[in-house]
Amino acid sequence: MTTTSPPPRQPRWRRHAAAGLLTALTLAATALPQPATAAPGPAADAPTALAAATPDGFATVNALGQNGTTGGAGGPVVTVTTAAQFLDYISRPGPYVVQVSGTINLPTGANDGMHNVASDKTIVGLGANATLSGGGLNIGLPVDDDVTSPPANAVHNIIIRNLHITGATDDLINVQMFSHHIWIDHNEFSNGDDGAVDIKRGSDFVTVSWNHFHDHDKTLLLGHDDDNAAQDVGRLRVTYHHNYFNASDQRNPRVRFSALAHVYNNYYYDNSYGVASTNDSAVLLENNYFYSVNNPGRVDFSGPLGRIVQRGNILVDCNHAIETRGTVPDPRTYYPYTLDPAADVPTIVPAGAGVGRISPTATSTLTAGPGITAQPDGFASVNALGQNGTTGGLGGPVVTATNANDFLDYIDTVGPMIIQVTGRIQISSKQGVRPNKTIIGVGNAEITGGGLDFYRSYNVIVRNINFTDAEDDAINVGQNSHHIWIDHNRFAGAVDGSVDVVRGADYVTVSWNHFDHSDKSMLIGHSDGSGSTDIGHLKVSIHHNFFDNSRQRHPRIRFAEPVHVYNNYFLGNALYGVASTENAGVVVEGNYFRDVPHPMYSASGYADSGPGRAVQRNNVFVNSGTPETAGTVTEPRTYYPYTLDPAANVPALVTAGAGVGRI
């Protein structure tokens, strides 16, 4: 949630402040023009500020062996709804994108409610109401005063976005012990017992941006205490920009020893003081807007004097000027930046800061692991039939289904949607999926008992799901459906087909799936009598799948051209590998066949179906029969580019990368 500025009121500091206000005061030689109203709040229809997809400021700097801040990019994307799930994933080694759904109440216990975050994590709230309550996040190793330089195992590369963090019994976020490359962006902080975001004990290269701080006392501490110079001097480089300090009483921030704190384009509203620089800290204050702040900037505070350079700030109804002293480094020696006019800050910051201003999606970071791509390849990538490739639910809301009712409701919703499946969902029969959907499993997700049916559907992605014991087909792509990507799933126990593509369907890619001891793995073309529907359609790419002791149909093809079967691992397929019939055209290349008595049928047809065409090249056959080939087939490269892996590498590559848990 975001809270608009209240109408002008008696500031809390006036109970103790001396009379005599300095209105619209700046320390430049010429006063800047002041806005029309003394206490501007955001209009109800103020435009939402654009949310950067990548950090800026100090979090972008290439230093300490870390080139910028990427968080969990490249790791698994998981959605958590309980404290146990959340604490498990944030503490795991390696990159993770941890999406928080709903409210999670964190325990307190012996650690006073502070919970450790391991390196290489993105923690992001889904929607506008994701909340962490009752506990805080600790980013850093345990305190050790004897460590005075960054250790090799310092916590690093963490992104925290779009969360309301509230009610902690200690700090809401604590960054300590030489942690570095941290981006804290578009969050809401309130009602913590100590600091909202404290950064201390040698931490470095941090950006705190577009956050909303309210109903909180000690907001931002930068530098632990006056005796911590050994760890802090030359470090604590932090960028604070476009934050909304909405009646957050003090420490916005309070700074000790910092090599440079860059504080720009923030909106200060009714604070006892804004920024305090002590212990020779270097603070640059520019283009901020201070309304009703008793002391906007101080260098003569508690402890040794600090340094402040100020420029371009606007002060309205403030009791004191910004205190200045000394010189500070230029932030542009570290990173580029662009200032917004200070007069615009009271409008753009309340409109853009806080939660609900960004739209995280589950597909944006699925980029790691063997053969993983964020977008499909093969026929699902082709621009045809009014659809330029396959994007699924991209741009739609991200929802999580944990039960059959929710799942069936979501797949039947009109419009784009990313549907994350958690746990085991029991369905029956074949359930229709509307266009523009991404259906993606989180962790070891399972759909059992029934399957998915595509009837005149299009632009659908299905990934990372165990399909088990379907009473008919596990997935049926039919009736002119097109642009379907079926990737990194596992199929087992279906009574009929695992993946059938029939009745004029087109532009389908089936990639990196594990067909685990299935019977009828894949049918392309419904029957010998469906030529009028199927000829000129059924273009399918089948690559890097593991046909693991699956019995037949890898695939069985009628009428289609071309079907492109490449870099698959065929192991122990008792009846056959590929069957091309009814004049279908298939290119079979770069595959590895082991213990397959009949790798390919074509010239002789199969069962009651007439002959088809098949071209085979660069395949490896081990303890397998002779492939049957016939005729010529349209080259897949007339539709899309592709690169073959060496067939000899396929068993290792495919078994390592195919199936669930690889994205």
DSSP class of residue 6 equals P
Cα separation, 266 vs 312, in Å, equals 12
**Strand extents, DSSP E, 456-505:** 458-463, 466-468, 475-478, 482-487, 490-492, 497-501
Query: Is 553 assigned a catalytic role?
Result: yes
Cα separation, 223 vs 257, in Å, equals 7
Cα separation, 283 vs 264, in Å, equals 10
Report whether 204 contacts 180 (CB < 8 A).
Answer: yes
Q: Among all chains, which residue has been given the structure tokens 């200045």?
A: 324
Report whether 126 contacts 79 (CB < 8 A).
Answer: yes
Phi, psi (degrees; rounded to nearest 5) at 285? -105, 120
3-state secondary structure of 542: strand
Q: Taking CA 582 as the corner, what is the angle to CA 577 and CA 587, rounded to the nearest 5 degrees? A: 50
Catalytic member of 553, 556, 558, 662: 553
Question: What's the count of helices (H) and strands (E) in the chain, helices before strands?
Answer: 6, 52
Calculate the alpha carbon distances from 78 to 85, 234, 249, 318, 400 in Å: 9, 37, 36, 47, 10
Cα separation, 75 vs 89, in Å, equals 11
Alpha-carbon Rg of the chain, whole angstroms? Answer: 30
Report whether 436 contacts 392 (CB < 8 A).
Answer: yes
Phi, psi (degrees; rounded to nearest 5) at 101? -115, 125
Tokens coding 585: 């055209």
**Strand extents, DSSP E, 512-568:** 514-516, 520-524, 540-543, 546-548, 556-558, 563-566
DSSP class of residue 423 equals E
CA torsion sign for 453, 459, 465, 466 is: positive
One-letter identity of residue 602: S
Q: Is the peptide bond before 35 cis (omega within 30 degrees of 0)?
A: no
Q: Among all chains, which residue has been given the structure tokens 């950090």?
A: 55
* SS3 labels along 597-626: CCCEECCCCECCECECEEEEECCEEECCCC
Give how far the C-alpha of residue 173 lies from the chain's centroid of Cα atoms, to the nearest Å.
Answer: 20
List, in order, residues 6 or more apart from 650 with CB less than 8 Å away. 544, 567, 568, 569, 590, 591, 592, 620
Cα separation, 407 vs 399, in Å, equals 9
Active site residues: 553
